[in-house]
Every structure is written in structure tokens, then in C-alpha cells.
Structure 1
Amino acid sequence: MNKEQKIDIAKILISAALYAVGFATGNFWFFIGAYLVAGYKTIFEAVIGIIHLELLDENFLMTIASLGALYCGQYPEAVAVMLFYQVGEFFEDYAVNNSRKSIAGLMDIKAEFANRLADGKEERVDPEELKLGDVILVRPGEKIPVDGVIINGSSSLDTAALTGESMPRDVTEGAEVISGTINLTGLLQVRVTKVYEDSTVAKVLDLVENASSKKASVEKFITKFAHYYTPMVVGCAVALAVIPTIVFGWSAFDEWLYRAMIFLVISCPCALVISVPLSLFAGVGSASRQGILVKGSNYLEALAKVDTFAFDKTGTLTTGRFAVTKISPAGGISEAELLEMTAVCEAKSNHPIAASIAACWKERSDNTEASEGPVTDYHELAGKGISCLYNGRKIYFGNAALMRDIGADFVEATDMGSIVYVADENNYLGYIAVADQIRDNCADTLAELKKLGVKREIMLTGDRLEIAEAVGKAIGVTDIMSELLPGQKVDALETAIAAEGEKNRLVFVGDGINDAPVLARADVGIAMGAFGSDAAVEAADVVIMTDDISRLTAVMKIARKTMKICRQNVVFALVIKFAILGLGAFGLATMWEAVFADVGVAVLCILNSMRALKL
């Protein structure tokens, strides 16, 4: 609790004490004292508003209503209006501050300083002062101030503030490190690869700070509603005081003025103006805590209406990393012999498939690297594979076309992914299947999305149809568009969007690296695995900092629950206010009911809004 909030509590307690004494003694001056202690700030701000011609705010409404009650001799009720209004304001400020502190705590990722090494000496500087190529020292417990690469040392990094993951990430010399993560164990020397304003932490903080500028339609509705609603109700209050007085005479003025003041208190739109933005702000904060950065509440609202998900395949549904999935020997050799032969002979190649075969061989043997060894006469056969002499024996490695060219007696494999066939001049020796790995929990996540009401799931990929269909079969996606160039992905997305109704929304999920046009065209673009990816942070509307595809269901649930809370607040506040407005106009509601309709409803809506922080 800050100093200003403590002062507010003191004012409320002093005013309440004077109010109680006034009730006990019936002394007019105790009520006036209680009124001034509770309401002097509100009255002052109302006067400032009048000077600046900004009349119709809550300060003006409360001041006019309470002064009207004083004029009518309703001293306890006049004090109650101001006192309980201050109680409501305190709860509003406390809730908003707590929400902001919660998000600030989640996003407290900026390092306060950096330890720069220069000429063998260490100096403490601001992160903004670091330049490309500078070397910094990061001790255990310190935050990494800017993005860089480790040149000395190894450690574990706490990435929870950025990714929401509790497991530390092990790093060693040569590894890239991201600003905002915390060094846990070892001393690190890091060479700066990005200045502060270009680093991950600066981009993330800018994204979160500007999220409130992109408002949901419900938030825009509340602003517009208050703009017209408040003047309309003030006009009704004036009419309620004046017209009956003209009809029934001056003797009826006090009674109808009192009803008009009740009308004004009820009309204050605090419950809506505060609780709806607070709900959306809290929803964005809840997503941030789970490593999901939402660039505006309008995207939360769109996610709540999602009907279709379109996915890029490589790097999104799959990991984007090749791995050996099957070794099928033939011709009398073993799996180990086939793997070793292929890894050694393809050691010269920098193709991802060759690298994955070499990695598999390293894992299964004691070799630390796939050296060329007994390989001579190495030739690359364009579009088909390679040939070489292995221990003096002519060996061919490649696709089915190469096997047909050399007349090998083989049967084409049906395994998912890329197939490397192996044969010598006389015999077919088998094949190795290499495939992009499907992400863990991918099938379960897509099934969960369908349970949440997603009717259509589409795969967009530049890969071959047979590979796309194999992945689709494994994860339960049947709507597949394959062999697409980047421009064709946008066209395919346009077709999918055209099939949607006006009320439904389409989400595209990609890795953010080469999907910028598609991310921009979708109703909501979600970039996955954006840990350290500038392109993803800039191109997408929602950024998931990890490779965990299950976060898609998390952000969907947050969006829907947040919008549900907003609707609850709007309906509850309007129903109560209009009901008591009607009662007040007919003299069936007192100022006490009016105070509840304003302050009580506002506090209840605020408490309901705070639930969004716990989603």
C-alpha cells in the first residue's frame, strides 16, 4: 500500500468517525466536517472540471448530487454519498494498482546495470550504454542486460519471466543468450550482439506497455456509451427536478430535487468505465505470466470468437529439426553398419538430412564426429544424392530416382519424411528415414482446440503432399494445402477467411520467421517459439515465447474467460443501474440505494474483474 492510499484510508476513517458522532448527537456541524473531509478532493476536481468545461464526469455528478441532498436537509445521506464514493474510489485505485504491480512484476525483466569489461577492467554501466562487440560479465543471480553470445563459461538460465517455463535452460560457450533471463549458477562472459533498444527485453517491454492502446470493441463501446449516457442522464435529472415543479408548484421542488439527486448518483458510470478495461488489462497480464504476449485487448476479443485455426507445418506443428526415425537394413548388413556407412560417407555434406544422420550415429556410438575416414572419390549427383568409394567399395546414397538409375532392386518406402536409400554396385543395402519431428502434445492440443469450439483446422505448407498428409494423419488434421510458395499461403488464407462468417475469426499460427505476410493477413497472427526472434515479436499479434504448442489452448481459455467477465460486468451494472434509476424516478429508492447502485456495483464489478488475473 503506497503513501497516497494510506492518506485515503485516514480520510475515510476520520470522515466515518465524524459521521458517527453526527448520527449520535444530531449536530449539523459534525456532518459538515465529515462531508468536507471525505469530499474536498472530489469538490476541488469538479471545480477544475467546470473551469476547463469538462463538466460531466463522476466528480461533477457526486458534487452536485451531495450538495442537492444538503440543500434538501438530508445531511446523513449527503455525507454517505461522498464517504462511500471515496470508499469505492479507494477500492478502484487499489485494484488497478495491484493489477499493474502484478503485470510489472511479471515483466520485471530489465537489468538495472551491466558489468562491462574494458582493458581488463570491470565497470558498471547502464544497459543502454552497451555497444555491439562489448564484452560483459554476468554473475550468478544477475539478469542478462542485452542479447549476446557466451564467449566463456557455462551456466543455467531462468527464462520464466519470458517463457513461463519453470525448468532452467543450460547454456555453454557459443550459446546465444537472451536479455531478461537470469543467470543462476556460473560466471559468464558474453559478447554483445544487439544494443539495448534492439534486444528482446526492450521489444517485449514495449509490446506490453503499448498493449492498452489497442482497445477491444467492448472497451470502445463503454467509452462511447459513457460519452452519451452521462449527458442524457444529467438532462433527465434536470427534467425530473424542473418539470414536476412547474406542474405541481414550488412546494414540490425539494422532493423532486431529491429524486433528481438520486438519479445523478445512480447515473455515474464508474462500474463500467473502470471494470471493463481492468478486466482486459488483467487478462493480458494473465497471459503474460504464462509466456504469452498479447499486443492488445482487441486480439483477446478476437481470440474469443475464433472459429478456424490455420497452421504452418514446419516449425509450428513440427519442431523444424530433422531426426532419424527408421533404419531398415538389407543385403545382409546390420542397422549399425548401415548407419555408420551413411554417416561417414555423408560427412562432407552440409545438408540437414546428412547432419541428422551424423547426429544419430554419434548418439549410438562412441564417435564424437563423423569424419570422412575411408571415403574417397566423393561425388554429388545433382537432385539425386551422392556416390563415393567406402573402403574401396562403390556406394550410392540418395533418393528413389538414383536407385532406379543404377538398377537397384528395391521397394519404395512409405515412411513419413525423406528417405535415403543405400546401395552398392551389386546389392541394395537398405534405407534410412529422416523426418521433421512432430511437436510433443501437438495432437492433444489440436483435439483440445476442437473441444473449445474450433470447427476447422487447416495445415498450410510448402512441403510435398505425401509428407503433409503423413503429418496430418498423425495429428488429426485433414484439411491440408501443400506445396505452397509464400505468396500462395496468403492466397490460401484469403480463401479460408472468405469462407468464415462475419462474426467468426481465423487465427494463423506460424514460427514468425518467414510467415510475416500470413501473420499480418489473419484476423489474429500467433507466432510460436519466439524466444529471441525479432521477426516474430514484430510480425505477430500474439507472441508465444516458447515452443510449447499447448499454450494455444491456454490463450484461448484466457481470452474467452476474460470476455465473459467483461460481459458479466456490463450486464450486471446496467441492469442494477436502470432498475434503481426507475425506482428513484418514482420515489421508491432513497439515496442509500443510489449509493449501492454506484459504489456497491462498482466494487463488485472490480472484484469480478480481478479474477482475470488468476486465469
Structure 2
Amino acid sequence: MAESGVKKEYLLEGLDCANCAAKIERNVSGLTGVTNCSVNFATKTLKLETEPDKTGQIIASTESIIKKLEPDVKMKDKSKPVLSRQTFYLEGLDCANCAMKIEKQAGLLTGVSTSHVDFVSKRLSLGTEKSDDLTSKISEIVRKLEPDVVVIPEQDYKSAKEDDNHNHGSSGIKMLWMRIAASAVLTSIAVFADLPFFAELSMFILAYIFVGGDVLLKAGRNIFRGQVFDENFLMAIATLGAFAIGEYPEAVAVMLFYQVGELFQSLAVNKSRRSISALMNIRPEYANLTTKDGTIKVSPEEVHIGDLILVKPGEKFPLDGIVTYGNAAVDTSALTGESIPRDVEEGSEVLSGFINKDGVVTVKVQKEFSESAVSKILELVENASSKKAPTENFITKFARYYTPVVVITALILAVIPPLLISDALFSDWIYRALVFLVISCPCALVVSIPLGFFGGIGGASKKGILIKGSNYLEALNDVKYVVFDKTGTLTKGVFEVTEIAAAAGFSNEELLKYAAFAEVYSSHPIALSIKKAYGKTVDEKVLQDYLEVAGQGIKVQAEGREILAGNRKLMIEEKIDFTEPKEGTVVHVAVDRKYAGYILISDQEKDDAKTAIQQLKALGIKKTIMLTGDAKGVGDAVGKNLGIDEVYAELLPHQKVEEIEKLFKRKSPKEKLIFVGDGINDTPVLARADIGIAMGGLGSDAAIEAADIVIMTDEPSKIADALKLAKRTKGIVWQNIIFALGVKAIFLLLGAFGIATMWEAVFSDVGVTVLAVLNSMRVLKVKD
């Protein structure tokens, strides 16, 4: 008996090119020993069947093929345990450089596949292959790198207001101010009092230990662990070097200035953190659960689907649901960015995060808290920083090499010139080298740039635009093509029957009844409009042999008659002569293969759709394009009215992907393409586009999951807002980069020529960092 083949299934993470997917499938299929291979581009799945004795070799060859064709795609075995996620909060983390070190060390732990530290929210997220608790291991790593940082597992973390503590050493902010004041007093006595040399030196040493003792301890610990090039090492070596060459007042004063600068930097970072947190302060704290014994206050997580909750004036809606009693005006600004209150009544849908302004309403819960709107928004924004923008990645790499290069340059500066230049003093050149060291810390870039991007994401969320990563925020700057779906995206998706045109031998009532029979099982907006117009309940017992023909319509037997209801493609396929109106969405009906007439259905354009197209063109978008499965006449009419450049109609889902592929061939590699959609059938196109945007208010969960950006208000004009915010964020980020590098370059030159002193050097480090952080905070100011 022949041995059966080995079947494997892999997830191709990062696969976003349909053409490359086809090449992978073709090349892997050609390998000796492969009995079957298929690549599903939509699900990014590679299915492989191989001869048993060649499986290992084939998998290695497959990985090699994928690396050659798509270097950024990762091949992950689906049979392996699904990654679980562990999250920790790092209370007291105020060093961006240390955050990167913690991220790196945590990623090296056995069983950890992904590691990411979000410096802004002080959050460490780990993707793990096992469910083992890593708290003790993470605590050990953090204790070695940052002893004053407290590791708190997510389940133990309680949200509270940001602490203004600087967390420098084991002292709070008051203690730090006392240390700075004591050091300043001792330094003043040593400088201005007429003391013997030994007493004066003792005063300087005591003042130095008061203000810089924790820096020396951290530097010593880090050197012992092999972590040399950080700001603690740079300040320690620079100030100790100043002591060595007899510059006692300057050594203490520079450490004093450094600590004050670090304090203001920490305060600025914490203020920025609080500003971002305030933008996302939408999580409800409790729910008023209605029980047979009355109303009790419980956590939103304890409420289940079908439960009734009471929402009073001033309270947040804790979960998504339907209003069953009462009416009220609700503030939706936290989710949608809309300042005008929305009226809700019985039957109205409400989302968690809305705020009740003036009425008492009862809500029937439709979703668990983990699936509610507010929960998804918080998850999206919290995880957004794990997808770093190219600029962030560049700065991370830049900082890794920049500091060692400057340290080596400083060493050369201290040793070589005195050997080559006559009358040159080692003390002068050592001093210049020490200035060099202080300047080299890249904190301004490492801290301010992630804050800039995260602030941009927070500001966008305040306007009802959820951006899933800073990489997408940066990519918006290169968008030149915007492609739209029609129904639910540019139009309201609310259909109404506007005309019933029965053919000879049929009445309008009969035509509508047969159409309702055909659409009885469908939840499509067109079907719902027909059933609403019919206004009666269809007895499903009269229906037989119900068949849905993809992209065409419905075939069904009812009351002993064969009914066909669908678009013109169905009529052509069934060879039935029909009448075609000039425009509008049409459902043709045939009974017993005889044409019964058509029903015309209209869908209104969204109020801001035309404005959205005009705004996009004003922002420099080259082409606006609409892809729709609707009739050509309908698509052309909508496109013409809105001012869309190109319209492609009567497309099936896979044909939309094909049209996107053609557009990719037209654009240059640096230009980006957006696709905007709302339905399940838009999912493959959303995944294929450079940036997928989903309408989140009415859009399907599948579309929202596949998209990179979600618009909670369902307003197309928000796309232009997102582009403007992306340009503003990029401008601020690059201001910081140019400012920080420019100032450092100037001071490095001044230091090398002996013009800049330690004072200027410290300004070029902590002073520039504070200014860059304050500049980053400007992106949080949401502009209308």
C-alpha cells in the first residue's frame, strides 16, 4: 500500500502581492516531491502536500523560494501552537533607550516570538508559543536594565492618572528637587567661600554625589552587564573626566544641569502621555445591570448578550446595543469626532463610548465587552505603535550606530591631536572629547519621534479615524490613487423601491410578491428594500429549491412556479428577453421563464461624498476611481455626479482585485494606493491595497479586520482629514529630526574646535530633547 503524502499548511505573513503569490505557487509546485501546492492570496495561506521522505528538504527549498521572491514575507507553520499574548506595564519607565534594550532582551527569551515595548503607554507586549507565565523572567530583565521600573502584569494593572514622578533613582520628584537644591548649595559654597583646597574638593565631591550618584550607579551596573553606550555612561565619563583634569565646578554644574534637563524632559514626556491618554479616555468603568431585584452596578465585562442595562444622564454607554426604552441625546464625539449630539430612541443602535446627555434609556446588549466598539478602538490604538513607520525604524538603527561612532571619534580627538600638534595640551583635547561625549546622546530623536507618530494616531482617533499603525500613517503621505467601493462607501447603502414596472400579463403587486419570494433569505440592502416594500411575511413553506447564483441573483420554486430574480447577467444567462431602464439599480424578475418586469431601486449618495472627492483632488491625488458590482448605468451616473475620474462597474469580488492589480502596474513604486470599502466582498481588495480603509460605522467586521484604517463615522471626507493629519505629523517629525541633528552637528564642530563648553553640550542633549518633545505634542492639537 502506497504511503500517503504529508500535508502542511503555512501562513505567509506580510504577503501583499497577488502576482508574487502566483509565482510562489508556481515555483514550489515545480519542486521534486511536491504532489500538490496552492497559495490563497486572500487568506495568505500556502497549502503543501509532499512525498513523506522529502518533506524536510521541500520545506527548506520553499522557504528559500519565498525569501528570494518576497524577502519580507515570513512562513509560519499553522500546525504549531497559536501564539498567545502576554502584556506587562512598566511603571516608572522614562528612558526610551532603556525601552529598546528591554524589548530586545525580552525577545531573546525562550518561547518568545515577538517583543514590543511601547514607550508612550509603558506597555510590553510579548507573542509567546507557550502559556507559561513570564512575569519573573521579565522582572529580572527589567531589574538589571532599569532597577527602578516596576513590572505589572496586565491582569493586575489598574488604570490610574499618570504619575509625575521622575523615577530617577529611588526618589520621587520632591526628593530629586531636594537633591538638586542641596547640590546647588554645596557647589555655591565651594565656589564662593574661601575654603582650603581639601575642603573645597570635598564640597564639590559631595555635591556631585548628591546630584549624580544614581547616574554613576546606573552606568556602573550597565558596564558590568556589557551595556556601555547609553546616556548614563556618557554623562559619567564626561563629568569624571572633568574632575580628572581639575574642572571641578564645571563637572558638578554639568551634572546638575543634566539632571534638571532630564527632569523637565520626563515632565514633558509625561504631559504628552497624559494628553494622548485623555484622547483615548473612553473606556466605561461600570454598567447598570437590570435584574429582577433591581439595578446593580457591575463591571462591563460581567454583562452578557441579551442583558438589559440602564444608562443615566452623564453616563457612558458601557456596551453596544439597541435602545428598548426611552430616548436621549447622546454625545458621540469620543468615537466619531462629531460635536453635534445624536438623538436616539427605541430601536436605535448605540455604541459603547457614547455619552448620555439628558435622558434615561434601557439598552439590550448586542455584543460582549471584548467585541464592543470601545474595546476594539482601544485595542487598535494601543497596538498601533507596534507597527513602526520607516522613519522610526531608521532612527532606531541610526541611534544604535551613531553613539559608538561618536565615542570612538571622541577617543581619537583626545589622543591623536596632542601627539601630532606641537604645544597641544592633553587636558585641552580631553576636555573637547568630553564635550563630544555629552553631545552624542540621541535621546531627542529616540523619544520625540515615536511620540510624534503616536500623537498623530491619537489625534486621528479623536476625529473618528482609527489608524492601525504609524507605518500606515506615514504611508498616507505618498498616496496618489484613491479607489472606492460604491454601496455603503460613497452611497448611504439605504435602498428604497422607487419604481415597479410589470411586463404584460403581470400586475405590479404580483411582480413585487415574486421578487419578495426570491429575496426572502437575503440580508442584502437591495433584498431588504424589496421585502420592506412588499410589507407582508413570506411563508417559507411555499419555497423550494432555493439557489443563489453568485454575482447574478436567485433561482427558486414558489407556489408551483419557477422564479428568477437578479441582474441583467441572470437574464442573459437564462436567455430571457428583458427591458433595461437607462439608470438605477434594477432587479429583473422572470416567472416560468417569462419576463415579469423589473423593480427599480435607488441608493442616495452620502452628503459629503462629492466634497470628499473635491478635497482629495485639492490634496494632489492623481486619480479617483470607483469599483462597483452594480450596473454600468448606475455606476456611471454616481461617478459623473461625484466627479470621479474612472468608473468600473458590474465587477465580482475577484474582478475588483484584478482591477487593483492593473492600477498597481500604472503607478510608480513610490506612489501608494488606497482602497475604501465596507463589505465582506471588499475584504480581498482591502488586503491587496497599499492602504485599506474600511467604513467602521456600518461596515462588516471582516472589512474592518482586513483594513489598515477604520473610519468610524462612515464619512468619505474623513479620508482627506487623514491625509492632512499624516502630512502634519510627518512635518513635525522631520522638524525634530532636522532640529536635533542640526544642533548636534553644530555643537560637535564647536566642541571639536574648543569653542563649545560642557554647558552647551548638555543643552544640545537634554535641552534639545525637551524642545523636540514639546514640538511633538503639537500634533495632539486636533484641527478641524
For the 8 Å contact 2:238–2:434, the answer to whether it is kept is: yes
Tell whether 2:165 aligns with 1:4: yes
Offset, 1:71: 1.9
Deviation at 1:142, TM superposition (A): 1.9
Match of 2:20 in 1: none
Matches within 5 A, 1:556-575: 556-575=723-742
Distance in 2 of aligned mates of 1:268 and 1:239: 18
* Secondary structure in structure 2 of the residue aligned to 1:480: strand
Show CA shifts across 1:233-268 (max 9, x none): 111112222223444699822111111100001111
What residue is the counterpart of 2:39 in the other structure? none
Contact 1:343–1:357 at 8 Å: present in 2 too? Answer: no
Q: Which has the higher helix share?
A: 1
- The answer to whether the 8 A contact 1:293-1:543 is kept is yes
Which residue of the other structure, out of 58, 61, 66, is the alignment partner of 2:234?
Answer: 61
The Cα offsets for residues 502-537 of structure 1, whole Å up to 9 and x where unpaired, read as 211111111254322111111111112436853344
Aligned equivalent of 1:405: none
**Hey, what's the Cα distance between the residues in 1 that align with 2:183 and 2:712?**
50
The partner residue of 2:253 within 80, 90, 95 is 80
1:190 matched residue in structure 2? 363
Higher RCO, Cα 8 Å, sep 6+ = 1
Matches within 5 A, 1:246-257: 246-247=419-420, 252-257=425-430
Q: 1:106 aligns with which of 279, 282, 292?
A: 279
Q: Distance in 1 between matches of 2:394 and 2:297?
A: 49
CA contact (8 A) 2:164 2:270 kept: no
- CA drift at 1:212: 1.0
Residues 493 and 91 (structure 1 numbering): CA distance in 2 closer, same or farther, change over 3 Å?
farther
- Please tell me whether the aligned partners of residues 696 and 704 of structure 2 are also in contact (alpha carbons under 8 angstroms): no
Separation (CA, whole Å) in 1 of partners of 2:699 and 2:316: 15
* SS of alignment partner, residue 488 of structure 2: helix
Q: CA distance change for structure 1 residues 312 and 25 in 2, over 3 Å: closer, same or farther?
A: farther
Alignment map for 1:284-303 (pairs within 5 Å): 284-303=457-476
Tell me the distance in 1 between the aligned counterparts of 2:356 and 2:202.
Answer: 63
1:542-581 map, 5 Å: 542-581=709-748
- The residue type equivalent to 1:240 in the other structure is L
Q: Is the Cα–Cα contact under 8 Å of residues 156 and 169 in structure 1 kept in the other structure?
A: yes
SS at 1:4 equivalent: coil
**8 Å contact from structure 1 (residues 203, 537) kept in 2:** no
Contact 1:530 1:537 in 2 (8 A): no
Give yes or no for contact 1:115–1:122 (8 Å, CA) kept in 2.
yes
1:392 equivalent in structure 2: none
From 246, 259, 263, the counterpart of 2:436: 263
Decide whether aligned partners of structure 1 residues 9 and 533 sit closer, same or farther in structure 2, where only a CA change above 3 A counts. Answer: farther
C-alpha distance 546-383 of structure 1, shift in aligned 2 (>3 A): closer
Q: Is the CA contact 1:569–1:605 (under 8 Å) kept in the aligned structure 2?
A: yes
Deviation at 1:232, TM superposition (A): 1.0
CA displacement at 1:144 relative to structure 2: 2.0
Backbone CA RMSD of aligned residues: 3.7
Change (3 A) 1:288 1:23: farther
How far has the Cα of 1:111 moved from its partner?
A: 1.5
SS in 2 for 1:570: helix
Counterpart CA distance in 1 for 2:259 and 2:202 is 20
Distance in 1 separating the partners of 2:469 and 2:240: 41
Alpha-carbon deviation of 1:566? 1.3
Q: Is the 8 A contact 2:337 2:463 kept in 1?
A: yes
Q: Which string of whole-angstrom CA distances, capped at 9 and with x for unpartnered residues, describes residues 525-566 of structure 1?
A: 111243685334422111110022211111101101111111
Q: Is 1:49–2:222 an aligned residue pair? A: yes
User: Partners of 1:17 and 1:553 in 2: how far apart?
Assistant: 56
Is 1:223 the equivalent of 2:384?
Answer: no
Q: Is the 8 A contact 2:585 2:631 kept in 1?
A: no
Q: 1:593 aligns to what?
A: 760
Match of 1:112, SS state, is: coil
Specify every segment of 5 or more residues in structure 2 that has no aligned partner in the other structure, as ranges: 1-161, 167-172, 195-199, 502-506, 520-524, 538-551, 555-564, 570-578, 590-597
Q: Identify if the C-alpha distance between structure 1 residues 512 and 214 changes in structure 2 by more than 3 Å, giving closer, same or farther.
A: farther
SS in 2 for 1:54: coil
**Secondary structure of the structure 2 residue equivalent to 1:213:** coil
| Alignment-derived partner of residue 499 in structure 1 | 666
Q: TM-score, normalised by structure 1?
A: 0.82
* Inter-partner Cα distance in structure 1 for 2:585 and 2:363: 38
8 Å Cα contact 1:103-1:288 kept in structure 2: no
Superposition map of 1:95-244 within 5 A: 95-244=268-417
**Higher deviation after alignment, 144-153 or 63-72:** 144-153
Aligned-pair CA distance for 1:58: 1.1
Identity of aligned residues (%): 52
Q: After TM superposition, list the pairs within 5 Å mapping 1:383-398 onto structure 2.
A: none
The count of residues paired between Structure 1 and Structure 2 equals 565
Q: Which residue of 1 aligns with 2:691?
A: 524
For residue 338 of structure 1, what is the aligned residue in structure 2?
Answer: none
From the superposition, tell whether residues 16 and 496 of structure 1 become closer, same or farther in structure 2 (CA, over 3 Å): farther
What are the ranges of 5 or more consecutive residues in structure 1 without an aligned counterpart? 329-340, 362-368, 373-381, 385-396, 402-410, 422-430
CA distance in 2 between partners of 1:310 and 1:526 (Å)? 10
Q: Give the letter for the 2:165 counterpart.
A: E
Question: Helix, strand or coil for the counterpart of 1:316?
Answer: coil
How far, CA to CA, are the matches of 1:202 and 1:371 in structure 2? Answer: 39
Q: Residue 448 of structure 2 aligns with which residue?
A: 275
CA drift at 1:122: 2.7
- How far apart in 2 are the matches of 1:76 and 1:220? 40
Aligned-partner residue type, residue 105 of structure 1: A
**Aligned to 1:210, what secondary structure does the other structure show?**
helix
